[in-house]
Amino acid sequence: MERHNWTKQEILEIYNKPLMELLYEAASIHRMYHDPNTVQVSTLLSIKTGGCPEDCGYCPQAARYHTDIEGNDLMTVQQVKAQALRAKASGSSRVCMGAAWRNVKDGPEFDQVLEMVRTINKLDMEVCCTLGMLTENQAQRLAEAGLYAYNHNLDTSEDYYKDVISTRAFQDRLETIENVRKSNVTVCSGGIIGMGEKLEDRAGMLVALSTLNPQPESVPINALVAVEGTPMEEMEPIPIWDMIRMVATTRIVMPKTQVRLSAGRTEMSQEGQALCFFAGANSIFAGDKLLTTPNPDVNQDMEMFRKLGLKPQGAFEKAPQPATIEEEDSKISAKGENPRWTRPDHKIDRNEKARARTKYSN
């Protein structure tokens, strides 16, 4: 059941559960709302790289930082179409186009992006954009062009946000999400862990996302990729266990959301990624780069899928709605079992289940 009143303390308690209990609960919820053997493969394409006027501490595309990022002007529609076709052939069902802009400006470049959206949409692929801040009118124009999702990450908690970026307020991000919601475009919004934040900040970010009504259809969970020349270049990679806990907590707090295992996968073993999938991640970004940072080779990802028995999700494919408790009880009873202690923990009283276990172990 989707809740919109999660508190920071509740989320911290979930995050800090014994790992096996956390994984069991997250996996149980994941199976209620999603096919556990299906993972969406998305391709992230930088259509305009570098020269951004913002000061996000993690981003190598900020003009003020001295990084090795090679900037480029806005790609042509033909170039984007060629990349989209290549992505589709390799198993991607969604293309996300990113431009290093602070905000969208009406004019020839935005018109060109709209044509890119129309072009990819005709390929029967989901189209996502991340272009910076967006007005209500611009969101509507993107919707009319066929945009499926708009990405605008919160990055971190409101309390820690000012330590990461000063050129845009946390409220600015919420307003862009609200403008997207006024159209029929779905919302993709998540954040980054490993930027020096506290656990309370990770929980705070999930509070901000989960209390949106409706919750975002897509939540990317990124591990910081420290890039030389940025203020966060000295940050150490986070342990895989932090990523697993963050994915599992996100799944529990936002059960219907597509949880995207995003940046930082090059530092993760296949075993670590498998635990993330078990905990509720059901999307990855494929391709050798995520905008400007390294990413596993798509052939490696497909080999991992083969080992784990995972299959790519098709475009616009939705998981079947979960059965009601009454329908589940009927199926369980048909097997000769008592549904009162066979249901996952999160759907019944825990004390009742404990009593049932004690009764049948004596």
Q: Give the model confidence (pLDDT) of 200-243 as tens digits.
A: 999 999 999 999 999 999 999 999 987 888 888 888 899 999 99
Which of the residues 94, 128, 168, 265 is marked catalytic? Answer: 128
Residue 56 annotated as catalytic:
yes
Q: For 133-188, what is each residue's pLDDT tens digit?
A: 999 999 999 999 999 999 999 999 999 999 999 998 999 999 999 999 999 899 99
pTM of the model: 0.84
Which of the residues 129, 141, 168, 188 is marked catalytic? Answer: 188
SS (H, E, C) the chain: CCCCCCCHHHHHHHHCCCHHHHHHHHHHHHHHHCCCCEEEEEEEEEEEECCECCCCCCCCCECCCCCCCCCECCCCHHHHHHHHHHHHHCCCCEEEEEECCCECCCCHHHHHHHHHHHHHHCCCCEEEEECCECCHHHHHHHHHHCCCEEECCCECCHHHHCCCCCCCCHHHHHHHHHHHHCCCCEEECCEEECCCCCHHHHHHHHHHHHCCCCCCCEEEEEECCCCCCCCCCCCCCCCHHHHHHHHHHHHHHCCCCEEEECCCHHHCCHHHHHHHHHHCEEEEEECCEECCEECCCHHHHHHHHHHHCCEECCCCCCCCCCCCHHHHHHHHHHCCCCHHHHCCHHHCCHHHHHHHHHHHHC
Residue 64 pLDDT: 75
Q: Where are the domains of the chain?
A: 8-312, 325-361
Which of the residues 3, 31, 52, 340 is marked catalytic? Answer: 52
Residue 129 annotated as catalytic:
no
The pLDDT > 90 percentage for the chain reads 61
At the topology level of CATH, where does 8-312 sit?
TIM Barrel (3.20.20)
Residue 188 annotated as catalytic:
yes
Residue 276 annotated as catalytic:
no
According to the per-residue pLDDT averaged within each range, which of 65-79, 101-115, 240-254 is highest?
240-254
Which of the residues 94, 96, 129, 265 is marked catalytic? Answer: 96
Which of the residues 94, 173, 260, 265 is marked catalytic? Answer: 260
